[in-house]
Amino acid sequence: MKHIKSFLLLIFLIQNLVGQVENWERKASIMVDSQIMARGVSDNHVLNIMRQTPRHEFIPVEQQPNAYMDYPLPIGYEQTISQPYIVGLMTSLLQLKGHEKVLEIGTGSGYQAAVLAPLSNEVFTIEIVKELAERSAKKLKDLGYNNIHVKWGDGYQGWPDEAPFDAVIVTAAPPEVPPKLFEQLKVGGRLVIPVGSIWQELWVITKLEGEIMDKESVIPVRFVPMVHPEKPIPDQD
């Protein structure tokens, strides 16, 4: 009898989970309208792509019922998938037109890269946690994203072989702007990055002629820290 009850409970949980993700397009649309657009993000291209991107595919199965709620979720290895509002805000701040070559630092779950992919020409994304890099690369490939390139590496170094980039987005917070990321940005390009240790701010940095950095503070934020690898990471190129 005990085994039967356990089996029935398992069936109930599976059915409940399936129900949670079956209506994901409606949930994603509600998420965008009530959590992102309502808070001031107005770029229709970004909003429409986020309505069409299955956030539940990028998180552990036990977290999927919460996939379209407006808060970060754990994805393992002490990392999180960012709050949907922050994803929408940071993506809109890049002001992508569709032709850009974009560098992302901090692949994480792969969700941010999936949002960037239809809005740009190519996305190059670096993840310091090898297991997350491998998992995200497989997930993105399985979902049919063919313009995203994932690399296990040190985000502080950027991706020099593919530089320069039209836009750079960073999804972890360094104590200050990594010089190599600014160097790899094209003149006129935009770098969207959270900066700080205890107190963090989201910055939009535009690269001007003469390596001049034009900075604008957007809002206070809270991200996981951007860290250096414990050991050198072999060249993946």
Q: Which residues are catalytic?
A: 82
Tokens 């040190």 appear where? 154
DSSP 183-215: HTEEEEEEEEEEE-SSSEEEEEEEEETTTEEEE
CB count within 10 Å of CB 209 equals: 7
